[in-house]
Structure 1
Amino acid sequence: MNLIKLQIVELLNRHQKITAVADELGLKQPTVTFHMKSLEKEMGVSLFESRGGKVILREPGKALLHYAVKINALAAESRRIVQEFGALERGQLRIGASYVPATYLLPQIIHPFSLQHPGVSISIVVQTSPVTREMLINHEIDLGIMLTEPFEHPALVKGLIGEDQLVAIFSPDHPLAAADELRLDLLQQSRLVLHSGESSTRQLSDRWMNDIGLQPHQYIELDSAEAIKRSVMLGGYVAFLSKMAVEEEVRQHRLQMRALPGLNQRRYLYYAYNKERHYSGLIHRFAAGLTDNN
């Protein structure tokens, strides 16, 4: 079995058209068909089915697809690593990051790195921490940067960048600003802005509110940390966000923040890579910039 056959399996699942597969691979349609028949003969089972003008994978084809995706990713990665080997002047670095580090950490790391290595192209995919971990496991990215609770995975190697905590934020003229510690009686009376969706910030803040018996009576939901901060700065609202996400506004006295009493869960900023991936000079140099910055 050669790689071109596995690429055809993956692309047929994506496009369901032999013409599209042929165009993407730079092959003629009869050549693609020949490889499909050759693969079925090699496997001794029917892998493809024509239906309604489309070519779809049969169940054995779907089983093969699982491995084809991984093998194709590893093959592409091996080509890139060989091209990078021994030099940092060119190459590609694919980074996955959760929202907070992507917004408040990576820009200040990428800027000097790009100046030092102008021939290196960097792409960043912003996802939740669980999705970023899955992308690392599947070799879809080279490096993951996540703000998350402690985790372990046998396929991943992780390094600690720093620690972060969830804090309450409010405007300087909010009644909570008069006390050095967060007054829960005033918080109970406050209007809240909560992070919407399944974000780790929302999950952690919900657990903390449940632990202390806080039942918000009036709140709005927003799915953007920047939108949450702007709403809080208008006055009246209280929100729970990552300390890293609000430090600039606190320094500028546009927001105030307080620790959440009784919060036992800690979040940490990690970088991680797949242990099966060659730890190239590009990854090493970029990861060094992450730890040097903190």
Structure 2
Amino acid sequence: MDTANLSAFLAVAETGSFSRAAEQLHLTQPAISKRVASLELQLGCRLFDRIGRHIGLTEAGLSLRPRALEIIDALEDARRALSNLSSVVQGRVAMATSHHIGLHRLPPVLREFTRTYPQVALDIQFLDSEVAYEKVLHGDIELAVITLAPTIESPIIAERIWNDPLDFVVAPDHPLARAETLSFAELGEYPAVFPGPNTFTRRIVSQLFSQEGVEPHISMSTNYMETIKMMVSIGLAWSVLPRTMLDSQVHSLRLPGTNLERQLGVIWHSGRTLSNAGRAFIRLLQRNAALDSLPR
């Protein structure tokens, strides 16, 4: 069975369009149609129903899709394993990172990696940590540098790289900014802006409030830390921000006995053979973590 035909089939199944599949695979639409038709002829069944402009998988197509994914994944894994027999670090690394980490943590790591391994092409997607986690889980990308989930389960492997302390913040002219210390109950009386309810950061903060028996008044939600900082700085709400983002635009609040932080790190799939380039990137992150832990 021709893997090029399987790849064309999977691209059409994913995009729901022959033209978009052609763009994804950098081919012409007739070439995609020919590959799918060849696969249908080889298997002796139709894989797609074409009704007007709508394209949907037939029962045979639905049955083939998970098997085709397994075949392509197995071949890619074999290719990486064979490529790893040489010690050359080259090729492509498909990875993801969150916008915050990509802006505030990764630039020096990426700069050193590209200088050290100029033959490696980095394919970086900027995604929410939760989306990146799912992409690693399903084998769509090799690794991700994200906010780690509170609990990590097999088959995902995670390694902490940075501790990321979080502070409660308001605008400098917010009524809460005048308080020397605050309770969770007092904080809960004012509007807050937070990342979405399914984000790892929101779960960490929600768990803390739940322990205190307080329900925060969350009036707005966005997953972009920079946007949250802007809304806090103009006085719309209070929030929680990484300490690395604090400056004169926001005022840090004191909640006695509170030590809030999240873990940032790298994840990969235990069932996937990492490329030499992927291993080299993880080693560089590990070295970065070791340097950060040294006394200053």
TM-score of the superposed pair, with normalisation by structure 1: 0.76
Q: Corresponding residue for 2:41?
A: 37
Q: Corresponding residue for 1:285?
A: 280
Contact 1:92–1:121 (CA<8 Å) still a contact in 2? Answer: yes
Helix, strand or coil at the partner of 1:110:
helix
Helix, strand or coil at the partner of 1:146:
strand
Contact 1:129–1:146 (CA<8 Å) still a contact in 2? Answer: yes
Q: CA RMSD in A?
A: 3.7
Contact 1:170–1:238 (CA<8 Å) still a contact in 2? Answer: yes
- The verdict on how the C-alpha distance between 1:5 and 1:149 changes in structure 2, with shifts beyond 3 A counting, is closer
Looking at structure 1, the residues matched to 20 and 113 of structure 2 have their Cα atoms a distance apart, in angstroms, of 41
Q: Deviations over 1:174-204 (max 9, x none)?
A: 5655666544465245443333453333343
Q: Corresponding residue for 1:87?
A: 88
Looking at structure 2, the residues matched to 69 and 218 of structure 1 have their Cα atoms a distance apart, in angstroms, of 41
Q: Deviations over 1:119-150 (max 9, x none)?
A: 32212223333322221122211112221333
Contact 1:175–1:186 (CA<8 Å) still a contact in 2? Answer: no
In the alignment, structure 2 segments of 5+ residues that lack a partner are: 290-296
Looking at structure 1, the residues matched to 36 and 235 of structure 2 have their Cα atoms a distance apart, in angstroms, of 63
Q: Corresponding residue for 2:244?
A: 247
Looking at structure 1, the residues matched to 48 and 218 of structure 2 have their Cα atoms a distance apart, in angstroms, of 55
Q: Deviations over 1:142-171 (max 9, x none)?
A: 112221333333322222213334431134
In the TM superposition, what is the alpha-carbon distance from 1:230 to its structure 2 partner? 2.2
Helix, strand or coil at the partner of 1:7:
helix
Looking at structure 1, the residues matched to 202 and 118 of structure 2 have their Cα atoms a distance apart, in angstroms, of 38
Looking at structure 2, the residues matched to 71 and 179 of structure 1 have their Cα atoms a distance apart, in angstroms, of 61
In the TM superposition, what is the alpha-carbon distance from 1:293 to its structure 2 partner? 2.3
- The verdict on how the C-alpha distance between 1:64 and 1:261 changes in structure 2, with shifts beyond 3 A counting, is farther
| Counterpart AA for 2:283 | A
- The verdict on how the C-alpha distance between 1:218 and 1:9 changes in structure 2, with shifts beyond 3 A counting, is closer
The number of equivalent residue pairs is 284
Contact 1:83–1:91 (CA<8 Å) still a contact in 2? Answer: no
Q: Corresponding residue for 2:114?
A: 114
Contact 1:12–1:56 (CA<8 Å) still a contact in 2? Answer: no
Looking at structure 1, the residues matched to 194 and 8 of structure 2 have their Cα atoms a distance apart, in angstroms, of 46
In the TM superposition, what is the alpha-carbon distance from 1:30 to its structure 2 partner? 5.4
In the alignment, structure 1 segments of 5+ residues that lack a partner are: none
Q: Corresponding residue for 1:193?
A: 193
The percent of aligned pairs where both chains have the same amino acid is: 23
Looking at structure 1, the residues matched to 281 and 250 of structure 2 have their Cα atoms a distance apart, in angstroms, of 32
Looking at structure 1, the residues matched to 123 and 21 of structure 2 have their Cα atoms a distance apart, in angstroms, of 25
